């Protein structure tokens, strides 16, 4: 297997982008990444597009072809593939690109993640979100996507004493980070009390525990490590890519206070990278709900089981904490355009490892890990990135 590097990144602002269509945002992120990589679109060998549900949001399937077309390279007839794994569609696209380069099949590959969520009404967005859980046995019986995470939170609070305040501290931290991210959807701070007082969604989850509805796109350009220096002085290497699946519905999971797929994917990734959680300097995890971040930092191995809440409340995951988690603002403040998130996480890690994260910079960041989740944990994809010293 060849070693794989990222040589360029780009992303749109995340937010309610009323003036821009799905095509607009997909292309913008891609061009920014190509410009960053100093690669002309003629050189692209393959494209992977992470998109969860364009078919329902904008009634458009076949977006692999669409993105390649509107990037101007339909005439090059490259293979362009759309992949889907719920909210993990972005990371899945990164993984597929990684595999295609590592295998020797392609050289220069562009990965885009994009979602245009605001072209449908709120009720329909709620419906689409729940399509990644079990429609027949969860949604039909009254489950909404947040309510399933609320069940996990309820159990986590019962088994480990996780508190309302611990959950709130995640949202507060991530909003603080969002203020430092020019591309973030929310650039305002919030207080612990704001979260606890926000309207209930599915208790204990409240509005400010939840990532927002967002439009946005992110892109990365990848190539074999051994030619990366032609494009950039400091290539960032993908040291590991791991993916794991689990039961679709919560009722069949062994435990609902963790995501087994996260634990397995993390172990596989660290094994592949020959690193451990304590080697990580920065992490981007899937905080679609505040409880998700608590479970993620436990599952990945940063903190012992059940201690994630306490660690967060004590500031151990802040910018200058033991491990900087979600320096980008996370899904909560950066935004969560479903198929774009996984790629945006990689974009943040790349900027951190290049030393280009500006006011969000973790000093001397050398290794980073990204965790992207689909559904209620039925798919988890983890990438470990690193730079030479």
Per CB under 8 A, 123 contacts another protein: yes
Question: 122-149 burial by CB neighbour count: b if 16+ within 10 A, else e?
Answer: eeebebbbbebbbeeebbeeebbbbbbb
Burial class (CB in 10 A: 0-12, 13-18, 19+), 274: exposed
Smallest separation, CB 291 to another protein (Å)? 11
Burial class (CB in 10 A: 0-12, 13-18, 19+), 207: middle
Smallest separation, CB 146 to another protein (Å)? 7
Smallest separation, CB 43 to another protein (Å)? 46
Tokens of 73: 């390279």
Total interface residues for another protein by CB under 8 A: 34
Smallest separation, CB 17 to another protein (Å)? 24
Per CB under 8 A, 290 contacts another protein: no
Tokens of 373: 């989740």
Per CB under 8 A, 199 contacts another protein: yes
Q: Cα separation of 276 and 296, whole Å? A: 15
Per CB under 8 A, 328 contacts another protein: no
Per CB under 8 A, 53 contacts another protein: no
**Nearer residue to another protein within complex by CB, 94 or 331:** 331
Per CB under 8 A, 19 contacts another protein: no
Would you tell me how many other CB atoms lie within 10 Å of the CB of residue 294? Answer: 32
Per CB under 8 A, 252 contacts another protein: yes
Q: Cα separation of 332 and 188, whole Å? A: 12
Tokens of 136: 């027949």
**Options 21-29, 199-207, 310-318, 322-330: segment touching another protein (CB under 8 A):** 199-207
If you ran DSSP here, which 8-state letter would residue 377 be given? T
Q: How far is CA 364 from the centre of its chain?
A: 23
Q: What are phi and psi of 221, to 5 degrees?
A: -110, 130
**Options 48-56, 101-109, 126-134, 161-169: segment touching another protein (CB under 8 A):** 126-134
Q: Cα separation of 310 and 242, whole Å? A: 28
HSE-CB for 354 with a 13 A CA cutoff? 21
Per CB under 8 A, 201 contacts another protein: yes
**Nearer residue to another protein within complex by CB, 131 or 227:** 131
Per CB under 8 A, 200 contacts another protein: yes
**Binding test (CB under 8 A) with another protein, winner from 203, 274, 276, 315:** 203
Smallest separation, CB 261 to another protein (Å)? 15
**Binding test (CB under 8 A) with another protein, winner from 155, 176, 187, 268:** 155
Residue located via tokens 């595999």: 99
Would you tell me how many other CB atoms lie within 10 Å of the CB of residue 345? Answer: 31
Per CB under 8 A, 62 contacts another protein: no
Q: Cα separation of 223 and 303, whole Å? A: 34
Residue located via tokens 């679609």: 288
Per CB under 8 A, 142 contacts another protein: yes
Per CB under 8 A, 256 contacts another protein: yes
Smallest separation, CB 302 to another protein (Å)? 24
Per CB under 8 A, 295 contacts another protein: no
Per DSSP, the three-state class of 384 is: strand
**Options 80-88, 153-161, 289-297, 315-323: segment touching another protein (CB under 8 A):** 153-161
Per CB under 8 A, 251 contacts another protein: yes
Binding site for another protein (CB under 8 A): 123, 126-127, 130, 136-144, 146-147, 150-155, 158, 199-205, 249-252, 256
């Amino acid at each position: 297997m060849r070693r794989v590097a990222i040589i360029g990144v780009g992303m749109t602002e995340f937010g309610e982008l009323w003036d821009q269509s799905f095509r607009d945002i997909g292309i913008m992120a891609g061009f920014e990444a190509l410009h960053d990589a100093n690669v002309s679109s003629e050189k692209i060998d393959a494209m992977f597009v992470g998109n969860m549900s364009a078919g329902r949001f904008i009634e458009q399937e076949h977006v692999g072809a669409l993105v390649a077309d509107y990037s101007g390279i339909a005439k090059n007839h490259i293979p362009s593939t759309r992949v889907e794994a719920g909210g993990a569609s972005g990371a899945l696209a990164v993984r597929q690109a990684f595999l295609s380069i590592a295998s020797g099949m392609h050289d220069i590959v562009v990965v885009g993640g994009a979602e245009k969520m605001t072209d449908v009404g709120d009720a329909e967005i709620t419906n689409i979100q729940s399509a990644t859980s079990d429609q027949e046995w969860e949604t039909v019986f009254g489950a909404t996507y947040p309510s399933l995470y609320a069940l996990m939170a309820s159990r986590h609070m019962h088994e480990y004493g996780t508190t309302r305040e611990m959950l709130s501290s995640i949202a507060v931290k991530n909003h603080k980070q969002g203020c430092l991210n020019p591309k973030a959807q929310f650039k305002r701070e919030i207080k612990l009390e704001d979260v606890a007082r926000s309207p209930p969604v599915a208790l204990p989850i409240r509005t400010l525990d939840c990532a927002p509805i967002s439009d946005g796109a992110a892109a990365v350009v990848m190539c074999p490590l051994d030619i990366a220096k032609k494009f950039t002085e400091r290539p960032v290497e993908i040291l590991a890519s791991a993916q794991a699946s689990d039961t679709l519905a919560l009722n069949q999971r062994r435990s609902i206070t963790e995501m087994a797929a996260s634990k397995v994917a993390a172990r596989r990734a660290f094994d592949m990278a020959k690193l451990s959680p304590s080697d990580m300097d920065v992490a981007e995890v899937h905080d679609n709900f505040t409880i998700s971040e608590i479970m993620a930092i436990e599952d990945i191995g940063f903190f012992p089981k059940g201690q994630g809440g306490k660690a967060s409340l004590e500031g151990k995951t802040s910018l200058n904490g033991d491990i900087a988690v979600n320096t980008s603002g996370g899904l909560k403040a950066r935004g969560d355009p479903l198929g774009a998130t996984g790629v945006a996480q990689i974009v943040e890690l790349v900027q951190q490892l290049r030393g280009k994260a500006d006011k969000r910079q973790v000093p001397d960041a050398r290794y980073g890990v990204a965790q992207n989740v689909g559904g209620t944990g039925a798919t988890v994809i983890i990438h470990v990135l690193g730079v030479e010293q």
